[in-house]
Chain A
Amino acid sequence: MRREWSVALAIVALAAVLAVAAPSFFSAENLRDLFLVNLPVLVAATGATLVIISGEIDISVGSAFAVCGITAGVAAKAGLPAAAAGLAACAAGAALGALNGALVAYARIPSIVVTLATMVALRDGLRWATQGAWVENLPPRFQWLGLSQASFPIAAGIAAALLVLATAWSLRNLSAGRAVYATGSSAEAARLASIDTARVKLSVFMLAGALTGLAALLNSVRFNQIPTNTGLGLEMKVIAAVVVGGAAITGGRGTVAGTVLGVVLLGAIGPALTFLGVSAQWERAVQGGIILAAVTFDAARSHAVAPLPPAVARSV
């Protein structure tokens, strides 16, 4: 839990600085905007947390996000109700996740390679399919999912909170969650413990895909149109949040709580800099600094704690 605490501490410190130097940061309007912008990141990052704990990685999140968003938009324009359009987005995400997952779990191709390929293929495929045209003039009942502009953030907030809590609880308390950690810690040991590691991997990719679909839906209902380049670079935001939140990129370690804190810190830092009068150009540099700090913290800790495996000495 140590990492989660240090990220939480960083958020509190940032909030304290803002409270003194730029209290207007906490205006209802600003917080609401911040929330709506980062909500899709949070939902996608929750899925990515599962993938990363299982020892894999998905860098096709941004492209899948675009495909799902367009799917939802096209479905809505075809006259489907908002809920059905949302389901279509989630289903598209789950299907893309299944593709990635099957290639990783059963064809045994490294996930970074598989999802790099799907990242590029999906993005260019989408551009080809839409001829670069945006999905425009979305029906009004699709916007804010038919809710009022004021009630949507509350409903979405409750839904996201439930989602996050359910995921965190499942990871901790379900045998399926235990299987995800075991697979990420040592796939071989998990296999010996008769865990079907291939199924675990396929499942986390599918779940993460479905959540990417949900994230895309939550993003597209905010606008009147959906550009084909939506979600560009989302994968980096998502992976950064998960890593800053304390998940080991090598698998086996990580929590949803940490990811939530990671999203909050990385999402708040950019606008905070603006409010503090620092040029927005520094946003990415500061985010990079935070990621480096988090990873260095990990490396320092593992070097300090990890003893030389006795097997090395005894192998002679």
Chain B
Amino acid sequence: MSQVLLEATGVTKTFDGVRALRGVSFELRAGEVHALVGENGAGKSTLIRIITGAETADTGTLSIAGRGVERIDPATARSLGIAAIYQHPVLFPGLTVAENIALPLEGAAVLRRIDWKAWRARAKQLLDQIGAAIDPDRLVDSLSMPERQLVEIAKAIGANGRILIMDEPTASLTAREIDTLLRVIARLRDGGAGIIYISHKLEEIFAIADRITVLRDGESVATRQRADIDAAGLVRLMVGRDLAQVFPKRTIPVGDVALQLRAVANGRRGVKPITLEVRRGEILGIGGLVGSGRTELAETIFGLTPCDAGDILVDGTPVTISSPVDAMRARIAYVPEDRQRHGVIGEMPVAANTTLNNLAAVSTGGVIDPSAERRAARAHVDRLRIRTPSVDVAVGTLSGGNQQKVALARWLSIDPRVLILDEPTQGIDIGAKAEIHEIMERLAERGVAIIMISSELPELLAMADRVAVMRRGALAGILSREEATPHAVMELALGDAA
């Protein structure tokens, strides 16, 4: 058997009390493509970040080419021949291809003269080696996404990369470009490199991988030879979790249709025509992989990037939503995914954050009444159990869960008919998560129609009355509560390959 390039044993990693990895073992041999699969949040990225030195493992051992490595930082990772290629290439757009390939390989000496001629020749040779016909003098800015990916690969090999990590490298590529990339990968493998290949696309995995390791909830649950497993078996391994521990939502009678989408599309954001409806009191879950167009759909409904086709109806009446102002007028609320950047304004006090969307409620003729504002804010703090020393502290100082509640409070102030929540409990602790679920149920009971985007299957299955699954910008299917098993959702999310 060929040489073991990399071996990780019993790796654990905890972030803020959340265990991202709990004893992962993984092995990569020379001349193999080893695929790493798992749901969003299974721990793939964390493992990669530990191997490349971006994070340090809490416990566990890592050995490279048989030698134990105490600590990896990005510089040692590079000197050990580890190179990572991400979904979005990390290149300098203002420099040429040759410069991009040369710069990381140049030594640390500041005053050493750079032999550009030699570097250009080397860049050319590296690009030839992977079969990429790219002029080394072109600016990276002018390259297409797949071309940039090829430059990244050339850069990695140039750095004597023996261990190549590819994290969703085909996410932005077309079918033909994917073929080219897979051929390059096969060529690198035959040259003796070890490749860790991460992808959600099972067809690619089965096309290129020699072995497949499945991560689930931070554990490595299985490693199989490609020949020993089929797609269905792989999906079973990926989702096979104990669902008994999550509590399903209370049964709430649903009312009339609150929001209806008729073939709503957004070409610019890659949202294909989507038809669905949400009723009052209903929680519609939206599942799908990261990048499947879920957030884009939400931003289309909310008017951040207005739809370019189809009709949106609120309470049966067609509405034109070309900006968030229109959405708010239709009483549609949107709590975005990235609360640090978009959900709350960290520098502003809790009170100002909660009233920002409906200042009219606490002011007369445009003049804010400070005591009314504080009263309104305190009411939100009490009702949503926001843990804050006072309503005057900056929101940025609160914990993630409490920031999310402030973001929710802001939108509840407009008394929404339709509430869109994008990853409402991402990165917040279990207690606050349960509280936010409880708030959602109370809102549904009051007749609010809720759309909940979530990458977490247990959350989706426990909270949603129906689950709409998106795949590549289109609606892959809508599952009733009874139909929505982890397997069914993953099957729709992954497509025909599963």
Contacts from A to B (Cβ < 8 Å): 173-176, 178, 181-182, 185-186, 188-196, 252-253, 309-311, 313-314, 316
Contact = CB atoms under 8 A, between A and B. Distances in A.
A258 B363 CA distance: 26
A311 B340 CA distance: 7
Contact of B342 (A181, A186, A194, A313): A186
Contacts of B18: 314
B396 to A, nearest CB: 8
Given A174-B367, A174-B368, A194 B325 contact: yes
Contact of A182 (B325, B348, B360): B348
Given A192-B336, A314-B15, 20 more contacts: A173-B370, A174-B367, A175-B366, A178-B359, A181-B352, A182-B348, A185-B345, A186-B342, A191-B324, A193-B324, A193-B356, A194-B323, A194-B357, A252-B347, A309-B340, A311-B341, A311-B427, A314-B427, A316-B15, A316-B45
Interface residues on B, range: 35 or more
A192 B334 contact: yes
Contacts of B345: 182, 185-186, 189-190, 252
Given A175-B368, A310-B427, A316-B20, A185 B348 contact: yes
A189 B343 contact: yes
Interface in B310-349: 323-325, 327-328, 334, 336, 338, 340-348
Interface in B1-20: 15-16, 18, 20
A12 B370 CA distance: 32
Given A178-B356, A316-B20, A188 B342 contact: yes
Contacts, number: 84
A197 to B, nearest CB: 10
Contacts of B45: 316
B340 A193 contact: no
- Could you tell me the dominant secondary structure of chain A's interface residues? helix
B356 A182 contact: yes
Given A309-B340, A310-B427, A316-B20, A174 B366 contact: yes
B341 A186 contact: yes
Contacts of B327: 194
20 contacts: A173-B367, A175-B360, A175-B368, A178-B368, A181-B352, A182-B348, A185-B346, A185-B347, A191-B324, A192-B304, A195-B356, A196-B323, A253-B347, A309-B340, A310-B16, A313-B15, A314-B426, A314-B427, A316-B15, A316-B49
A194 to B, nearest CB: 4
A314 B399 CA distance: 13
A189 B342 contact: yes
What 7 pairs across the A-B complex have the smallest Cβ distances? Answer: A314-B427, A175-B359, A194-B324, A194-B328, A185-B345, A194-B325, A316-B45
Contacts of B15: 313-314, 316
Nearest to A181: B348
Nearest to A310: B400
Contacts of B55: 316
Contacts of B352: 178, 181
A10 B343 CA distance: 38
Contacts of A190: 345
Nearest to A251: B347
B334 to A, nearest CB: 7
A92 B153 CA distance: 57
Contacts of B216: none
